[in-house]
C-alpha cells in the first residue's frame, strides 16, 4: 500500500426518514435558542414547516437565499441575524441555501444546522464560493463547516426528476475526482466508490418513481458520501472547468456538471487507469466516461452545454482561462485536448 495522509472533517450526521423531528433537540445540543431558518423563496413553505418543529427556538425565517451566494445578499441576511439576535442558523435546501448559511457562519462563527434537500454535498465541506462584482471566489475555513447535518429523506421526495438526475451526477463528480485526486487515500476512495454506486443505482428508480423512499434514501446517502469526498481531498480538472464556465457564462450548476463530467473523465482516463476501473465498476459499466454519459443521457439529462447558455464563441476563452490558472490534474493540461473536451461537451457528443 502507498503512504497516505487522511484528513477527516468533524461532523455530526443524522440520517433517515422523519429526522427533522429532532431539530429542536439538535438546537438544544448547540445551546441555540434563537435559530434563524434560511431558505430560497421557492422553499419558503417547506422552511415554515421547520419553524414549527423548532418551537420556541425559532427566531425567524429569511427566505431570500440566491444562487452563487452574492455578498450583498449575505449582508442583507446578516442584518436579519443581528435584528433577531440569532445564535444559530438552520439552512434548509440545496447548495445555494447552504452557501448562505456558510457565508453567515464565516462572518459570525454562529453554529450551523443544515437540512439538505438536493444532492450537491456542500453541507459536508468547509468550502464557500461567494460572488462579488461578477467573480466567484472560493475560500476554505473551519468556521464554514456546518456543525450538524440532518438528512431527512422525506424532504427530498419533492425534488423534481430532472433536478434529481443532474444533482445526483453533480455528487458523482465529487467522488470521481476524489478517486484520482493528488491526496487520494484508501478511506476516501471507499466512500467515493460507494457514493457513485449508491447514486447510480438510485437515479434510474427515482426517474420512474420519484417518491420511492428507498431509492431516495440511497441517493441521499450517496450524496453525503460524495460530499465527504469533496470536503476531504482536492478536486481537479472537472471542478476547475466548472468553476471557469460557471463564472464566465453563469451556467446552471448541476446541469453543467452533468454535461462536462464524461468529457473531463475521458480526458483524464489515460493518466488514471486505476481510478477509471473503480468508477466503471461502481457504475456497473464497461468504461467510466461513456458509462457516466449513458447514465445521465438515459435519464433525460441534456448533455450539451450549448443548451444551457454557453455561447458558441465561448470555447476559446474558456480554454485560455483554464490554461492560465495552474492547478494539479492527473493529466497535464494541453490546449488542444481541452479544446476537444469542451467542444464535445458543448455539442453534447458521447465521448470516444
Q: Which residue sits closest to ligand NAD, CB atoms considered?
A: 95
Strand partners, 151: 15
Cα separations in angstroms, 210 against 64, 144, 160: 27, 32, 8
Is 45 among the residues that bind ligand NAD (CB under 6 A)? Answer: no
Residue with smaller CB distance to ligand NAD, 21 or 158: 158
| 63, 87, 122, 232: which one binds ligand NAD (CB under 6 A) | 122
The residue among 235 and 275 lying less far from ligand NAD, judged by its C-beta, is 235
* Residue among 208, 231, 261, 191 at smallest CA distance from 7: 231
| Residue 131 lies near ligand NAD (rule: CB under 6 A) | no
Using CB under 6 A, pick the residue from 70, 95, 255, 314 that binds ligand NAD: 95
In the chain, count of helices (H) and strands (E)?
13, 8
For position 291 contacting ligand NAD by CB under 6 A, the verdict is: no
Give strand pairing partners of 203. none
H-state helical runs in the chain: 23-29, 44-54, 71-84, 95-108, 161-179, 186-208, 213-232, 237-249, 253-268, 273-283, 288-298, 315-324, 335-347
Q: What is the DSSP letter of 350?
A: P
| Residue 105, burial from CB neighbour count under 10 angstroms (0-12, 13-18, 19+) | buried
Stretch that binds ligand NAD, among 48-56, 82-90, 122-130, 205-213 (CB under 6 A): 122-130
How many binding residues for ligand NAD (CB under 6 A)? 29
Q: How far is the CB of 227 from ligand NAD (least distance, A)?
A: 7
Based on the shown chain and the rule CB under 6 A, indicate whether residue 125 belongs to the binding site for ligand NAD. Answer: yes
Candidate list 120, 178, 269, 322; residue touching ligand NAD; CB under 6 A: 120
Restricted to residues 252-271, the positions that interact with ligand NAD (CB under 6 A) are 253-254
Residue 127 makes contact with ligand NAD by CB under 6 A: yes
Residue 19 makes contact with ligand NAD by CB under 6 A: no
Cα distance between the two ends of the chain: 32
Contacts of residue 207, defined as CB under 8 A and 6 or more positions apart, other chains included, come to: 161, 164, 165, 299, 300
Q: Which of 87/91 has CB closer to ligand NAD? A: 91
User: Is residue 294 within 8 Å of 240, Cβ to Cβ?
Assistant: no
Residues that bind ligand NAD (CB under 6 A): 40, 42-43, 67-68, 93-97, 99, 117-118, 120-122, 125, 127-129, 155-156, 158-159, 163, 167, 230, 253-254
Amino acid at each position: 500500500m502507498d503512504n497516505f495522509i487522511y484528513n477527516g472533517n468533524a461532523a455530526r450526521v443524522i440520517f433517515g426518514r422523519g429526522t427533522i423531528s429532532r431539530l429542536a433537540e439538535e438546537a438544544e445540543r448547540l445551546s441555540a435558542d434563537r435559530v434563524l431558518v434560511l431558505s430560497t423563496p421557492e422553499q419558503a413553505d417547506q422552511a415554515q414547516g421547520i419553524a414549527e418543529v423548532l418551537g420556541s427556538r425559532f427566531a425567524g425565517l429569511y427566505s431570500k437565499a440566491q444562487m452563487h451566494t452574492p455578498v450583498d445578499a449575505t449582508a442583507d441576511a446578516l442584518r436579519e441575524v443581528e435584528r433577531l439576535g440569532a445564535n444559530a442558523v438552520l439552512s434548509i435546501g440545496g447548495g445555494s441555501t447552504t452557501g448562505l448559511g456558510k457565508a453567515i457562519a464565516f462572518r459570525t462563527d454562529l453554529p450551523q444546522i443544515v437540512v439538505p434537500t438536493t444532492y450537491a454535498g456542500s453541507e459536508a465541506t468547509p468550502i464557500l464560493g461567494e460572488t462579488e462584482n461578477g467573480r466567484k471566489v472560493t475560500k476554505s475555513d473551519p468556521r464554514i463547516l456546518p456543525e450538524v447535518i440532518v438528512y431527512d429523506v422525506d424532504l427530498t421526495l419533492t425534488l423534481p426528476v430532472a433536478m434529481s438526475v443532474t444533482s445526483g451526477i453533480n455528487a458523482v463528480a465529487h467522488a470521481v475526482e476524489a478517486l484520482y485526486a493528488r491526496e487520494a487515500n484508501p478511506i476516501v476512495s471507499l466512500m467515493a466508490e460507494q457514493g457513485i454506486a449508491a447514486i447510480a443505482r438510485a437515479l434510474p428508480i427515482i426517474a420512474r418513481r420519484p417518491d420511492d423512499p428507498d431509492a431516495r434514501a440511497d441517493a441521499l446517502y450517496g450524496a453525503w458520501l460524495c460530499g465527504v469526498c469533496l470536503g476531504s481531498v482536492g478536486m481537479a480538472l472537472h471542478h476547475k472547468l466548472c468553476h471557469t464556465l460557471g463564472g464566465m457564462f453563469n451556467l446552471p450548476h448541476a446541469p453543467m456538471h452533468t454535461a462536462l463530467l464524461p468529457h473531463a473523465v475521458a480526458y483524464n482516463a489515460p493518466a488514471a487507469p486505476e481510478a477509471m476501473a473503480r468508477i466503471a465498476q461502481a457504475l456497473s459499466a464497461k468504461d467510466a466516461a461513456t458509462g457516466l454519459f449513458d447514465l445521465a443521457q438515459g435519464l433525460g439529462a441534456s448533455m450539451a452545454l450549448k443548451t444551457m447558455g454557453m455561447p458558441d464563441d465561448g470555447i476559446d476563452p474558456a480554454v485560455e482561462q483554464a490554461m492560465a490558472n495552474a492547478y494539479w490534474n492527473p493529466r497535464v493540461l494541453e490546449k488542444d485536448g481541452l479544446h476537444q473536451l469542451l467542444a464535445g461537451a458543448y455539442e453534447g457528443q458521447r465521448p470516444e
